[in-house]
Amino acid sequence: MTERPADGKANRPPDIHAVARHAGVSHQTVSRVLNESPRVRPATRERVREAMRVLGYSPNVAARTLITRRSRTLGLVVLNEELYGPASALRHVEQDSRSAGYGLRILNLPPMARSTLREAVESLRQQLVDAVIVVDPHPEDQPLLGPLPSDLPLVTVGGLRSTGVPSVSYDSGPGVSQAVNYLLSLGHRTVHHIAGPAGWAEADIRRTVWEQTLRKAGREVPPPVEGDWTARSGYAAGLALAGRDDVTAVFSANDQMALGLFHALAERGITSPEDVSVVGFDDVPDAAYYRPALTTLRQDFAELGRHTVRLALRQIESGTREGVESVTLAPPSLILRASTAPPPSN
């Protein structure tokens, strides 16, 4: 038989008075910390939070939301979550949100559900999230986001910049140019391209810079072969390219399509890099273990996560999107591996 204290409070959860006693402050100070008041010194705030952790104190989120009009939750809309880029953005945004003390409410939209993007944002808004983050919106949808009320904290990740909506965007162009020029420096007469789907901002940027780089170098611009970001589409593109005698170098718009390309080339008895050099984009975790190990462009998704959450928090604190500047990430790095070499000598 377990002995029970005379006051009968053994099973009661800790309240703000218990937190206050543990931290050596008043319960009003604990309340100010819970309500994110700026009138608390950082050292005191940290002492109160430590007391909460030690005691296992869980604030009443619903009540706090009514008082502060904040839910400590960010809403995230993701298109094409199965692809490496959006999935990596999601992972790092989630990590940085939790580090900042925010939960995350995620809506995954299928690739062909672009028309529902505005409805998804409105749905999250009705769920009282403090800010909405949209990952890789389609360019056709982005103009729909600008007219949303300016007091709705909103950030887009990837895609094109929208007027009135702070964004974190990739700077893919310099990396693509570096990759194409690297292949030309090895002695390849031109570079073929497996492109992402037309109409997607990153696919269009990579295709455009690939073409511009070849023209600037005075080289022939072969027709690109379009894929849909998947290894299956890369395999189909690889079969088309394998039937041509002039293909010695290929730039693939992502690593997954490069994987399909390798499979198609191997089926046709074409080796890489001896016969065809290949450069990808993303540096997926398995890229170093492709056969051959893939030369590719690496983007800093950790930095993307940090900037995205910072932009969201800045708007939450100011109460408006106005004056919050967009961020462009550093260009991707070219990671040299075994899939590139000088062209075969005939």
* Pairwise CA distance, residues 113 & 285, whole Å: 28
Angle made by CA atoms 144, 145, 151, in degrees to the nearest 5: 140
* Pairwise CA distance, residues 190 & 303, whole Å: 33
Return the beta strands (E) in the chain as ranges.
73-79, 103-109, 131-135, 154-157, 167-169, 192-195, 225-226, 249-252, 277-282, 295-298, 327-328, 333-335
Task: Tell me what pLDDT residue 3 has.
Answer: 33
Phi, psi of 20 (to 5 degrees): -60, -45
Instruction: Give Dmax over CA atoms of the chain in angstroms.
Output: 94
* Spatial CB neighbours of 217, under 8 Å, sequence gap ≥ 6: 180, 181, 184
* Pairwise CA distance, residues 279 & 180, whole Å: 9
Task: Tell me what pLDDT residue 309 has.
Answer: 95
Query: Could you tell me which of 322, 326, 325, 319 has the C-alpha nearest to residue 151?
Result: 319
Angle made by CA atoms 321, 324, 330, in degrees to the nearest 5: 130
Task: Tell me what pLDDT residue 159 has.
Answer: 73
18: Cα within 13 Å, side-chain hemisphere: 13
Query: Could you tell me which of 40, 103, 98, 28 has the C-alpha nearest to residue 71?
Result: 103
Task: Tell me what pLDDT residue 173 has.
Answer: 96
* Pairwise CA distance, residues 222 & 214, whole Å: 10
* Pairwise CA distance, residues 195 & 209, whole Å: 11
Q: Which two tokens stand for residue 44?
A: 């005191």
Q: Which helix (H) or strand (E) holds 255?
A: helix 255-267
Residue with the two structure tokens 């910390």: 33
SS3 150: coil
CB–CB of 239/249 below 8 Å?
no
Task: Tell me what pLDDT residue 6 has.
Answer: 40
Task: Note down pLDDT in tens along the chain; length 346 residues.
Answer: 333 334 444 456 777 788 899 999 987 888 777 766 667 888 898 898 888 888 877 665 544 554 445 678 999 998 877 889 888 999 999 999 988 888 899 988 875 555 578 888 888 888 889 999 998 777 777 777 877 788 889 999 987 666 678 999 989 999 999 999 999 999 999 999 999 999 888 999 999 999 999 999 999 999 999 999 999 999 999 999 998 999 999 999 999 999 999 999 999 999 999 999 999 999 999 999 999 999 999 999 999 999 999 999 999 988 888 889 999 999 999 999 999 999 998 6
Domains and CATH numbers, the chain: 16-59 (1.10.260.40), 69-170+301-329 (3.40.50.2300), 172-299 (3.40.50.2300)
* Pairwise CA distance, residues 96 & 74, whole Å: 11
According to DSSP, residue 342 is labeled: P
Which whole-number Å values give the CA distances from 108 to 98, 129, 134, 208, 297, in the listed order? 19, 16, 10, 29, 26
